[in-house]
Structure 1
Amino acid sequence: MSIREQTLAERKGKKWYQTVPDPMVLIFLILLATYALTFVVPAGEFERVMQDGRTRVVPGSFQYLTDVAAIPPFDIFVAVPKGLNEASLYLFIVFIAGGLFHILQKSGALENAIGVAVNRVGVERRNVIITAGTFIYGFFGVAVGFENNIALVPIAVLIASAIGCSSLVGTTMAVGGIGIGFALSPINPYTVGVAQGIAELPTFSGAWLRTLLVLSSLGLLSFYICRWVVKMDFQEPDDTKAMSKELNEYHLEKRDKLTLAVFVGGLVAMLVGVFTRGWYINEIAGMFLLIAILIGIVNRLSANEIVKQMMEGASKVTAGALVIGLAASIQVILQEARIIDTIVYALSGMIQDIPLAFSAIMASVVQGVINLFVPSGSGQALVTMPILIPVADLVGMSRQLMITAFQVGDGLTNLIVPTSGGTLAMLALGRVSYEKWLKAILPFMVLVYGLSWIGLIIGHMTGY
């Protein structure tokens, strides 16, 4: 049988959602659409100035550019290796974290600990475990950040396996919880802190509405996972390693406890570095590498065995890591065409013509679209807030509500946009493909956006 005949045979009888293109194909199609957009959207830019050590946009300074040459078609393909280079931080942390968790799983310590914990709680309390896990991951998103929690995803996958669920359930619990926590955090320094600084508001003021939004959204996510994701069946094999023993057979040996102590101690050291020394992806990846080596030593692995285990772990996340690089090529095309500022300028103008009661909702939609082109939360705040804060003053919307609308639009879309390197990195470690993730999370996105928009309307009505 030829390859074409075999492919047609595999497609026959499948439903439409089972024939969605491979994530690589899907993102490459978006890349082609982005390239086509460069011929429709004119180049333009805002004037930028340095203020308080940050580059900020000057409101009202937008102008179109006439000296930007069209991008040659061949540069579509050149953008891919450039994207891989731009996303190298995410690629390397995925490879290193993949190696770390492979060593940790091979040691058996993490599986033993989760097996003991789930056995004590009781597997029949699956919904309680999922809800608790979702809120715990949500707390990490609120307090620690987004990319800083990449390494915690495989733990959720193993917890899901212990309660008889697939890797999709564990990944939704972890990525969804972290994403919601980060998106709606009342104390997010990357989005709220930067935006309130630009708006000249007290840092983290107005936290009550964001606190209500994050708690209610995490509750909604827990309910969604228990009632929908657990029951989802795409008739696709789940290659995530299941628990190898019955729950009552698990117990912790002395070496398991020492291994876990090294792992937890490393995470604590990482958090201290993040909060006190400004650590980011490179430093976190370096800490993961150190933890992996120490765990190997504790389990009496030779240097060659540690390297072998690291390579095996990295190889299992290669496909997901390459998706991150391909997605980054979209940003490369946008930057070289110099159309990002034009898109921001056009979208921000849409808010001024909307009735005041719905202007905050429209602002969140605009920010969500912009997030596809400017995936950095703090970067987006620096680009859009100098424009939208005066717009809020002009239409009679409070600056606090505009910032919350920005937070909803920017943060929530991180869960679905292919330009979010942190999300793709987490999916790679959870071994859930991008297209499978979209099938699972898109219905929830409709629900959480509806909930957030209700919150924005309440904020407007209460004079927030």
Structure 2
Amino acid sequence: MNNGNQSDQSPPPGPETQEKRFSFPTAFTILFGLIIFVAALTWIIPAGEYTREMNQELGEEVPVPGTYHEVESDPQRLLISMLMAPVDGMYDTDTNEARAIDVALFVLMIGGFLGVVTRTGAIDAGMSRTMQALKGREIWMIPFMMALFALGGSTYGMAEESLAFYGLIIPVMIAAGYDAVTAVAMIMLGAGIGTLGSTVNPFATVIASNAAQIPFTQGIWLRVVILVLGWLACVFYVMRYAKRVKANPETSLVADMREENRQHFLGGKSSLEAIEFTTTRKIILVIFALTFAVMIWGVSSAGWWMGQMSALFLGAAILIGIIARLGEKNLVNTFLDGARDLLGVALIIGVARGVVVIMDKGKITDTLLYWAEQAVGDLPSVAFINVMFWIEVLLSFFVPSSSGLAVLSMPIMAPLAEFAEVSRHLVVTAFQSANGLVNLINPTFAVVMGGLAIGRVGYDRWLKFMGPLLLILVIMICAVLSLGAL
């Protein structure tokens, strides 16, 4: 858009010009800022710990109610913390979850896999056929895909696995006249609302229920209500935004990146042109789809985790490269180029996990939990469950892991329900709703920052998109919890 005479036409620097030049910090800067902030808190918040004992059902040590005591403080040095937290974050592991370095490797394998598939032209050919088949009905992909992702989130806690789908869905939605925000929302809100309304999710509902010493089936119908209402709200919200963007692309939150995104995701094409759908490309797309199907089966039924999924995508990339006759050098170079495209995503995962590492090293996590325990006191039932929800919201910002927060907070918070004459299953529902809600926007949650990085959506723009929807979800959740407490 510059015509080479910018120096002659640009206004002299002034307050307005400087204001226009301001840009929201990158995700890395935001996370480093949070690391410094949490490190500073370790100098202010007293260090403390609960006595822990082994829970045989969970196979983990859990805090014992009434045993909190202050311990010698270990304030974290700001500069050293800022530099070491991302490194430590890569090796840190939350309860029942993968290390960040395992997730980062998984992301790189996905990048290499997508790079190889894209190189064959199979994805472009498949998307072209998809657009021809839908013929203006692409909008209905939103409720359908969000329902599938919500099912994954509600049943097996789909989170890191969702990162594999961005490279597939974003180009389709952009080619259909929507934008990257629409595609990111389909995946992130779909899986996220499923986790928020978990029914049998082993990493949230089951662990939290075991820690609260109740069957995980208690309260399941209330969680189904939250799941259905939340899914409807998210689908309506995303479809409304998508229709507005398609009618007027300038209303997109990433309108200034429209051409840049088309270049990145579609190779600069204004639309998906008709591409020859050869037998080889059909075979490749079948393998492509089977890879994702096998991944979902492996995670949900065979006990797979990041290592097995990484190996799956590596093996599928090699197989596709052989079928497409890319040749050894082209296959290797294409795989490396694809992995390189997601290198920033892989690195940001360790930085995000570093915030939690600082809290644990500074011994302030249990102190925050103790303050939360004291806050609920002898509140009446409706007030109790709503305060419990907001306490879990606060804790979720610092402990984004659903299983980690369940093991940390449920042994302490669930027994308090009896004093307020509230069922323990309602505390479990408040916990998972709060954790799921926060993890739709949580900068310390690697899935959020990783997904936004893949979709090239700035964190500030995601917050702008999510603002009204968060208010809707909060009102809905608090209303359902209040009715459950009556």
TM over 0.5: yes
1:236 equivalenced with 2:236 (yes/no): no
SS state at 2:53 partner: strand
**Within 5 A, what are the aligned runs for 1:354-373?**
354-373=379-398
Match of 1:48 in 2: 52
Quick check: 1:43–1:342 contact (8 Å CA) kept in 2? yes
1:30 equivalenced with 2:54 (yes/no): no
Matched residues in 1 for 2:275 and 2:196: separation? 37
Deviation at 1:74, TM superposition (A): 3.2
Matched residues in 1 for 2:89 and 2:213: separation? 36
Matched residues in 1 for 2:301 and 2:30: separation? 40
Quick check: 1:153–1:430 contact (8 Å CA) kept in 2? yes
Corresponding letter in the other structure for 1:270: M
Quick check: 1:108–1:256 contact (8 Å CA) kept in 2? yes
TM-score, normalised via structure 2 length: 0.86
Matched residues in 1 for 2:194 and 2:437: separation? 10
Where does structure 1 lack aligned partners over 5 or more consecutive residues? none
Matched residues in 1 for 2:26 and 2:91: separation? 22
Match of 2:80 in 1: 75
Corresponding letter in the other structure for 2:339: A
| Comparing 401-410 and 109-118, the one that deviates more | 109-118
Quick check: 2:390–2:434 contact (8 Å CA) kept in 1? yes
Deviation at 1:320, TM superposition (A): 2.8
Match of 1:176 in 2: 189
SS state at 1:164 partner: coil
Deviation at 1:163, TM superposition (A): 1.4
CA deviation profile, 1:394-429 (whole Å, cap 9, x unmatched): 111111111110110111211211221222233333
> How much is the aligned-residue C-alpha RMSD, in angstroms?
2.7
Corresponding letter in the other structure for 1:293: I
Deviation at 1:9, TM superposition (A): 8.7
From the superposition, tell whether residues 83 and 117 of structure 1 become closer, same or farther in structure 2 (CA, over 3 Å): same
Q: Percent identity?
A: 27
Deviation at 1:342, TM superposition (A): 0.6
| Comparing 174-183 and 146-155, the one that deviates more | 146-155
Corresponding letter in the other structure for 1:184: G
Q: 1:64 aligns with which of 61, 70, 75?
A: 70
**Within 5 A, what are the aligned runs for 1:287-302?**
287-302=312-327
Deviation at 1:383, TM superposition (A): 1.0
Corresponding letter in the other structure for 1:365: W
Matched residues in 2 for 1:248 and 1:331: separation? 47
Matched residues in 2 for 1:104 and 1:365: separation? 44
**Within 5 A, what are the aligned runs for 1:252-267?**
252-267=277-292
Match of 2:95 in 1: none
Deviation at 1:250, TM superposition (A): 5.0
SS state at 1:59 partner: coil
Matched residues in 1 for 2:459 and 2:329: separation? 34
**Within 5 A, what are the aligned runs for 1:263-278?**
263-278=288-303
Q: 2:155 aligns with which of 129, 135, 143?
A: 143
From the superposition, tell whether residues 410 and 189 of structure 1 become closer, same or farther in structure 2 (CA, over 3 Å): same
Matched residues in 2 for 1:235 and 1:248: separation? 23
Corresponding letter in the other structure for 2:107: V
1:414 equivalenced with 2:420 (yes/no): no
From the superposition, tell whether residues 14 and 161 of structure 1 become closer, same or farther in structure 2 (CA, over 3 Å): farther
Where does structure 2 lack aligned partners over 5 or more consecutive residues? 1-5, 93-99, 246-250
Matched residues in 2 for 1:312 and 1:9: separation? 42
SS state at 2:460 partner: helix
Q: 1:114 aligns with which of 103, 120, 127?
A: 127
From the superposition, tell whether residues 446 and 232 of structure 1 become closer, same or farther in structure 2 (CA, over 3 Å): farther
From the superposition, tell whether residues 236 and 359 of structure 1 become closer, same or farther in structure 2 (CA, over 3 Å): farther
Matched residues in 1 for 2:254 and 2:30: separation? 18
Deviation at 1:23, TM superposition (A): 1.8
1:224 equivalenced with 2:237 (yes/no): yes
Deviation at 1:446, TM superposition (A): 1.9
SS state at 1:203 partner: coil
Match of 1:160 in 2: 173
From the superposition, tell whether residues 324 and 442 of structure 1 become closer, same or farther in structure 2 (CA, over 3 Å): farther
Quick check: 1:94–1:428 contact (8 Å CA) kept in 2? no
Deviation at 1:441, TM superposition (A): 2.2
Match of 2:140 in 1: 128
Corresponding letter in the other structure for 1:459: G
Quick check: 1:23–1:435 contact (8 Å CA) kept in 2? no
Matched residues in 2 for 1:9 and 1:436: separation? 26
**Within 5 A, what are the aligned runs for 1:80-95?**
80-86=86-92, 87-95=100-108
Matched residues in 1 for 2:49 and 2:30: separation? 29
Quick check: 1:90–1:425 contact (8 Å CA) kept in 2? no
